Chain A
Amino acid sequence: RKEVEQDPGPFNVPEGATVAFNCTYSNSASQSFFWYRQDCRKEPKLLMSVYSSGNEDGRFTAQLNRASQYISLLIRDSKLSDSATYLCVVTQDTGRRALTFGSGTRLQVQP
């Protein structure tokens, strides 16, 4: 089983739609959680950190469920510019190989 698993997609949604991605992780000692976005042939960029209480940044909402070991990302009112690959990132603060990426979920927002 992979340490971090994501549905690769693609998710094809119309503009204005709400879309949600999930990510599961296998290591219960995981400490920090992030969502990154990666545009085609570009480096990953931090979208948002994920906190236990859940957090929101504009149209984006991230949730963490430690008991079930998954995190989610909800995008409301999708824009064409949201088209990208969304990477789930999990870390352990033990100092050993602390940053683990999921393979990403591809989102295509269509006009």
Chain B
Amino acid sequence: GAGVSQSPSNKVTEKGKDVELRCDPISGHTALYWYRQSLGQGLEFLIYFQGNSAPDKSGLPSDRFSAERTGGSVSTLTIQRTQQEDSAVYLCASSLSAGHSSGYTFGSGTRLTVV
């Protein structure tokens, strides 16, 4: 597709369950970011992938969070044993490369609600 695709768009899960969020970046984009945004707050960096380099995981809030990017394309963010404080909108963005002048395109996000 022409844009960044994220699925599901909404996810309600029970506390303690695992969830998996998916991001399909724009074809050919080598840089991929995961952010999360709580209601009324700014974007919180989670993880960054650039090509085949080791990802920058410095933003992951705990070891319950993990992400992978297969074949340099699709990425999945997994949250294990979800907690209520994990409730947020999880946004994925991709770019031709880090810092590229064309900027970063965001998906419409996955709204996660942990009950």
Identify the A interface with B (CB < 8 A): 31-32, 34, 36, 42-46, 49, 87, 89, 91-93, 95-104
Contacts and interface: CB of A to CB of B under 8 A. Distances in A.
A95 B101 contact: no
A31 B43 CA distance: 20
Given A49-B103, A89-B104, A96-B56, 8 more contacts: A32-B100, A36-B103, A44-B106, A91-B98, A97-B48, A99-B93, A99-B104, A103-B41
A44 B43 contact: yes
Contact of A97 (B45, B106, B107): B45
Contacts of A97: 45, 48, 56, 58-59
Interface of B: 31, 33, 35, 41-43, 45, 48, 50, 53, 56, 58-59, 91, 93, 98-109
A87 B51 CA distance: 26
A96 to B, nearest CB: 5
A32 B108 contact: no
B45 A45 contact: no
The B interface is mostly helix, strand or loop, or mixed, namely loop
A93 B48 CA distance: 13
A43 B108 contact: yes
A90 B60 CA distance: 20
A46 B99 contact: no
A48 to B, nearest CB: 9
Given A92-B99, A97-B56, A98-B99, A45 B106 contact: yes
Contacts of B102: 49
